[in-house]
Amino acid sequence: MPELLTLGPWLRRFLCEHIVTERNLARNTGKSYRDTFSLLLPFISGKLRKPVDRLAVRDLTSRHVLQFLAHLEEERGCSARTRNQRLAAIRAFARFVASRDPAHVEWCGHIRAIAPKKSMPQPVGWLARAEMEAMLAVPDRKTARGRSEYALLLFLYNTGARVSEATQLKVGDLQIGRGNGGHDLAALHGKGGRTRQCPLWPETERVLASEIMGRAAEDAVFVSRLGKPFTRFGVYRLIERCAARVPELAGRTITPHIIRHTTACHLVLAGVDINTVRAWLGHVSISTTNIYAEIDLTLKARAVALCEIGQSKPGRSWKEDKDLMAFLKSL
C-alpha cells in the first residue's frame, strides 16, 4: 500500500513533527492526542478485522469515528467532555492530512463535520475552611512521611497548583528563606509552557525549607516514601486516603482539583479581586475564573443588597424646575 494512503506514516508525522515542532503544543496535549489514537486504532482494527499497521487513512471513516465516540460513552463510561476531547484530536489529525494532501480534502470534510456534543458544566466542588483544615491534620507530622504528606497538601492549598505543577516542582523553583522582608515564592510551570510565581505562606515556607534541606536544585520537592518523585496518581491516592479519614467528607470524591477549587473559592470569599485569582491559578482567560463567582450564596445576597430598590421619593415635575427652564432658554 502506498505510504500516502497508509495511516501509520501520517500519524507518525502528526504526533512527532506537526504538534511538537510546527504547533509547539504542550506535552500533555501531545499525550492526550496519543491516547486518543491508542484507543481509536484498535477499535477500528477490530471493526474491519484488519491489522493496525495495515489501516489506510480512508478506513478512518466518519461512521467509524461516530461508533468510536459512542463506544467511549456507552462502554467505557466517559463523559461528554471526554468524548469531545477525543473528537478534537481526530479532527486536528484530519485537518493536518488534508492540508498536506488535497486528495484527502473530501475525507477531511466528512470527519470535521462531526459535531461536538453539548456538555453541561459541572458545579464547582470545594471544601469549607474547617474541612480543609481537617484534611491537613490527617498526616502524622511526628514521622518523616507524615511531614512530607503535610507539606504537599499545604502547598496545594496555598498555591492552588495543578497536580502536574506540584509533581514537576524542583528545588530550584523555590525562592524561600530570604529573611530580608521579601516574599517567598514558588515558580509553577503550567499549561502551554507558561510559568507563574505564587507567594508562599510562612508556614508553607517553613515546612518546604525542612523538606528540601540538603537537596540539589534539580531534585524534586515532593518525593514518596520510596524516595522517588510523586506521580499524579500518587497525589490522587494521598488525597483520597486523607479525605477518607475526615468524617465530614464521607461519601464525597475529593481530588487534587477540588483543593485547587478550594484555594480559589477561599480567595474569592476573602474579597480578593477575581483578576488576581486568575493570575494566582494561571488561567489565560478571565472567563475561566468567573465560575468562582457562583460559589457562595452570601456573595449573591451581598450583590442583591447593593442593587436593592428602595422607596422612590416623589420628585418635582421638570415643568416646575424654573431654574432649569431659565437655563435652557438662555442657551
pLDDT reported for residue 76: 94
Concatenate the DSSP letters of all residues of 38-78 into one string.
Answer: HHHHHHHHHHHT--GGG-BGGGS-HHHHHHHHHHHHHTS--
Euclidean distance between CA atoms 61 and 50, whole angstroms: 14
φ/ψ of residue 229, rounded to 5 = -60, 140
pLDDT reported for residue 150: 96
pLDDT reported for residue 37: 96
> Is the pTM above the cut of 0.95?
no
CATH code, 129-304: 1.10.443.10
- The residue from 86, 196, 266, 283 that is catalytic is 283
Whether 162 is catalytic is yes
Whether 283 is catalytic is yes
Please report, for residues 158, 162, 168, the alpha-carbon distance to residue 219 in angstroms, rounded to integers and kept in the order given: 21, 19, 10
Q: At what angle do helices 144-159 and 232-244 cross, to 10 degrees?
A: 100
pLDDT tens profile 86-120: 999 999 999 999 999 999 999 999 999 999 998 77
- The residue from 260, 261, 266, 278 that is catalytic is 260
Angle (CA) 247-250-251 rounded to 5° is 175
Whether 76 is catalytic is no
Q: Give the start-end residues of each E strand in 152-243.
A: 174-175, 185-189, 195-199
Reported as half-sphere exposure (CB side, CA atoms, 13 A), residue 186 has a value of 29
pLDDT reported for residue 148: 94
- The residue from 86, 104, 162, 278 that is catalytic is 162
pLDDT reported for residue 180: 47
Euclidean distance between CA atoms 309 and 299, whole angstroms: 18
Burial class (CB in 10 A: 0-12, 13-18, 19+), 298: exposed
pLDDT reported for residue 200: 93
Concatenate the DSSP letters of all residues of 126-166 into one string.
Answer: ---HHHHHHHHTSS-TTSHHHHHHHHHHHHHHHH---HHHH
Q: Are 181 and 165 in contact (CB under 8 A)?
A: no
321: left (phi over 0), alpha (psi -120 to 50) or beta: beta
φ/ψ of residue 290, rounded to 5 = -65, -15
pLDDT tens profile 250-272: 989 999 999 999 999 899 888 88
The domain spans of the chain are 7-112, 129-304
Please name which of 291, 246, 287, 242 lies closest in space to residue 264, comparing C-alpha atoms.
291
Euclidean distance between CA atoms 277 and 261, whole angstroms: 11
Whether 189 is catalytic is no
Euclidean distance between CA atoms 238 and 250, whole angstroms: 16
Instruction: Sort strands 185-189 and 195-199 into parallel, antiparallel or unpaired.
Output: antiparallel
Euclidean distance between CA atoms 165 and 79, whole angstroms: 25
- The residue from 191, 206, 215, 232 that is catalytic is 191
Successive 10-residue mean pLDDT values, the chain, 331 residues: 74 92 86 95 94 92 96 94 95 95 93 90 83 95 93 95 93 79 83 86 93 92 90 94 93 92 90 87 82 65 58 55 65 59
